[in-house]
Amino acid sequence: MPGGKIVRKLQLFSLHARTEAGPLDYQGLFNFMAGFGPAERARIVGGRMIALGSVRIEGDRVWLHAYEGDIKTDPLFLNVFSGQEHPGKLEPNDVLVQKTHVLIDTETRNVVVEFNGRGAKAHDIAELLQTIGLAAPGYRGLELDFNPKAGEGFIREIERFSRIRIAALKLSRPNFNWTDHRNHLTDMADQSNGHVIDVSVFAARDESLEQNHGIVRYIKTLVRDPLSMFKGASVTGVRTNENAETSVSLGRFIEHRNVKVRRTASGHVVDADIEEEMLHYLESVPPIGE
């Protein structure tokens, strides 16, 4: 009955992955995953099931359907006219799920993920892919991340601050090593064989961090990198002509596009519609170097 159209947000990420042996062949990794059966592509985490229902490979593009659901709860229905509730019953091995669409370009390492408020998020899907890949001897020590690409709006928000009290960033190791944007932080992570850097810098009392030096400049520089190293970033302080303190987080400024797609009679998005929009979005992303 629902039908009609619905707005969906498509978010943009960068794919980073490596094994103990170094950078890997992304195409080979997804070909390996496509060879698994459905049960082998599902994991239970804290009472929630996360699964890859399908892995479709078309040249350099990989299409994924990721599912998330609660394995401990049967559906509960309410009759809005009588006010009476009644339980639904799932069949054995059935899970009530939400579907999330994902498109990966293994050449550019750009990733488009449908944001589904009730479904699997980008970090859930990346963690699932990593877990599945670790099952193969050839991917020992696999680390896989979907790092959010920050929109230009994030820089504009940072530049609105007249005083910055705290700046924080969280970076994950890029595809190769920590030598991109090399500095003391990345050198320390490289020498430590670290996977993630998490650092916060606090200004002295009644002082401000420098807008165009140090950590704030580093954040603004990394935002423009076509292959994002960010896991997260935030700035806290007081904006010009304001008195109250405000925080801005990268999570609110992930590069995205809102699209309108049809719904099926059961209320779910039409796969062909959202996949067409995801492909258009992916193809609109400028190649590295432009």
The string of pLDDT tens digits covering residues 19-67 is 887 778 888 899 989 988 888 898 887 778 899 988 999 999 999 999 9
Residue 145 pLDDT exceeds 80: yes
Specify whether 116 is located in the same domain as 245.
no
Strand partners, 5: 262
**pLDDT tier at 166, thresholds 50, 70, 90:** very high
Query: Does residue 247 register a pLDDT over 90?
Result: yes
Backbone phi, then psi, for 111, in 5-degree steps?
-130, 130
Range of the domain at 191: 152-252
Q: Which residue has the tokens 């943009």?
A: 12
Based on the domain organization, do 230 and 265 belong to the same domain?
no
Q: Which of the residue ranges 15-29, 92-106, 128-142, 246-260 has the most confident prediction, judged by mean pLDDT?
A: 246-260
Please report whether residue 289 resides in a domain.
no
Which residue would you say has higher pLDDT here, 91 or 240? 240
What does pLDDT average to over the chain? 86
Strand partners, 230: 171
The whole-number average pLDDT for the span 59-86 is 84
* Spatial distance between the Cα atoms of 99 and 176, rounded to a whole number of angstroms: 32
Q: What percent of the chain clears pLDDT 70, i.e. is strictly above it? A: 91
Residue 77: band (very low, low, confident or very high) from pLDDT cuts 50, 70, 90: confident
Are residues 143 and 156 both part of a single domain? no
User: In the structure, what pLDDT confidence band is assigned to residue 70 with cuts at 50, 70 and 90?
Assistant: confident
pLDDT > 60? residue 178: no
Q: Both 44 and 166 in a single domain?
A: no
On whether residue 105 sits in a domain, the answer given is yes
- Identify the weakest region by mean pLDDT among 57-66, 73-82, 135-144, 165-174: 73-82
- pLDDT, tens digit, 9 for 90 and up, residues 222-231: 888 877 888 8
The fraction of the chain above a pLDDT of 90, given in percent, is: 45
243 and 106 share a domain?
no
Same domain, 128 and 177: no
Query: Residue 78: inside a domain, yes or no?
Result: yes
Query: Total domain count for the chain?
Result: 2
Question: Are residue 134 and residue 264 in the same domain, yes or no?
Answer: yes
User: What is the reported pLDDT for 290?
Assistant: 46
Is there a domain that residue 66 lies in?
Answer: yes
Q: Does pLDDT of 76 surpass 80?
A: no
Are 259 and 128 in the same domain? yes
Domain check: are 72 and 208 in the same one? no
Element containing residue 10 per DSSP (H, E)? strand 5-19
Above 60 in pLDDT, residue 289? Answer: no
Asked whether residue 13 falls in the same domain as residue 134, the answer is yes
3-state class (DSSP) for residue 205: coil
Q: Are residues 156 and 267 in the same domain?
A: no
